[in-house]
Amino acid sequence: MSTVWLEMPIRRADSTGPKRRDPAATREKLLTAARREFADSGLAGARVDEIAARAGVNKQLVYHYFGDKDALYLAVLEWVYEEIRAQERKLNLEGLPPQQAIKRLIEASFDHLAAHPDFIVLLNDENRGGARHVRGSRKLEAMHSPLVSMVSTILSEGVRAGVFRKGINAVHLYISIAGLSYFYFSNTPTLSAIFGKDLSSPTARRARRKHVVDLVMQSLRP
Partner DNA sequence: AATGAATGAGTTTTCATTCAT
Partner DNA sequence: TATGAATGAAAACTCATTCAT
CB of 12 to DNA, least distance (A): 12
Of 19 and 221, CB closest to DNA: 19
Q: In the 8-state DSSP scheme, what is residue 68?
A: S
Q: Are 117 and 185 spatial neighbours (Cβ–Cβ below 8 Å)?
A: yes
Q: Counting contacts by CB under 7 A, is residue 31 touching DNA? A: no
Q: Which of 12, 20, 206, 211 binds DNA (CB under 7 A)?
A: 20
Q: Got the DSSP string for 25-48?
A: HHHHHHHHHHHHHHHHHHHHH--H
Contacted entry of DNA, a second copy, none for residue 91, CB cut-off 5 to 8 Å set by kind: none
Q: Counting contacts by CB under 8 A, is residue 128 touching a second copy? A: yes
Give the residue ranges of DSSP H helices in the chain: 2-13, 23-45, 48-55, 60-66, 69-89, 98-115, 118-128, 132-135, 138-141, 147-160, 170-195, 202-220
The span from the CA of 125 to the CA of 145, in Å, is 21
The span from the CA of 214 to the CA of 208, in Å, is 10
Q: Counting contacts by CB under 7 A, is residue 19 touching DNA? A: yes
**Options 17-25, 159-167, 173-181, 186-194: segment touching DNA (CB under 7 A):** 17-25
CB of 129 to a second copy, least distance (A): 8
Q: Which of 23, 97, 129, 146 binds DNA (CB under 7 A)?
A: 23
Ranges within 78-107 binding a second copy (CB under 8 A): none
CA distances for 17 relative to 9, 12, 14, 56, angstroms: 13, 8, 9, 18
Ranges within 63-82 binding DNA (CB under 7 A): 63-65, 68-70
Q: CA torsion, points 177, 181, 184, 185, in degrees to nearest 10?
A: -140
Contact residues for DNA, defined by CB under 7 A: 14, 17-23, 26, 46-49, 57-65, 68-70
Contact residues for a second copy, defined by CB under 8 A: 39-45, 121, 123-131, 134-135, 140, 143-145, 148, 165, 168-169, 171-173, 175-176, 178-180, 182-184, 186-197, 207-208, 211-212, 214-216, 218-221
